[in-house]
Chains A and B, each alone.
Chain A
Amino acid sequence: MLDAEEVRTFVNGTVHFFETATGHAATVGSPYLCIDKAAVVQDYTGVIGISGNREGKVYFTAPRGMLSVMLMCMNETDTGEQNVRDLVGEVANTISGNARRDFGRNFVISTPTICDRANAAQAAATTGRSFIIPINWRSYSANVVVCLQ
């Protein structure tokens, strides 16, 4: 399970992503432990499988409106389905990849699996305790969920 220092890695990575990629800072709520195995999912979810010296998954789940506005802030004019799905995977990939700075290169990340709300529950289901990191950005709320053994 993650310790407090490791959770901080993901919190810092999330804050850095939003500020750098969109130019607008996000605020991060207090991470909390989820012992309910039901996945916390919103409209779109990007799931990254983790292997190597840690096993589990990291996912970013967000409402459609938030992803559309993020694209606009990145000067992307096409906010259609393909780019929305693509962005949710890219956020999960970037936050996970940046964590290798602290976890080391044996923290191996997969390419993202992208799900909409209808099929996210299975892909995002976790086998142990998860840390939920609430993210507030502009008027939207999303979550980064980290479940590592």
Chain B
Amino acid sequence: MSAVPKPREQLRMMIVDDSNVMRRRIERSQQNDRLEVVGTAVNGVDAVAKFKQLMPDVMTLDLTMPEMDGIECVEHIIKIKPDVLILVVSALADKATAVEAIEKGANGFLCKPFTDDQLNEALAELIGE
């Protein structure tokens, strides 16, 4: 008898970027049927506050933001929920910044500008597909 496939887990996603255009772009372009966008935030302070309410499983996170930048935000978020999956989506294209984000607890890095395919590939890799 063949095994019954295990239903794929649905994941709640939050988008953090100070740019409204980028938040809407990510929400519109992401095609993964396991991901449901449950909230957005406009800077690190807003992200931490909304994260505590929404407790998402996945987060896309810009780095250069007012109030609290993305690197500091990662440190706060990881303390609240250590197993959250964080994809940093940033224009900061140097390798050292990507390494720092990963060392702080992020799980992936996507450089702006990006195509829809690049975004979806990065999200799929993030959630292990």
Interface residues of A (CB under 8 A from B): 16-17, 20-21, 23, 71, 74-76, 78, 82-83, 86-87, 89-90, 93-101, 104-105, 109-111
Contact = CB atoms under 8 A, between A and B. Distances in A.
B93 A97 contact: yes
Interface of B is mostly: loop
Interface string B6-28: 00000000000011111011001
A99 B21 CA distance: 21
Contacts, number: 67
Contacts of B25: 74-76
Nearest to B99: A105
Interface of B: 18-22, 24-25, 28-29, 64-66, 90-94, 96-97, 111-115
Given A16-B113, A20-B115, A98-B111, A87 B21 contact: yes
B96 A105 contact: yes
B28 A98 contact: no
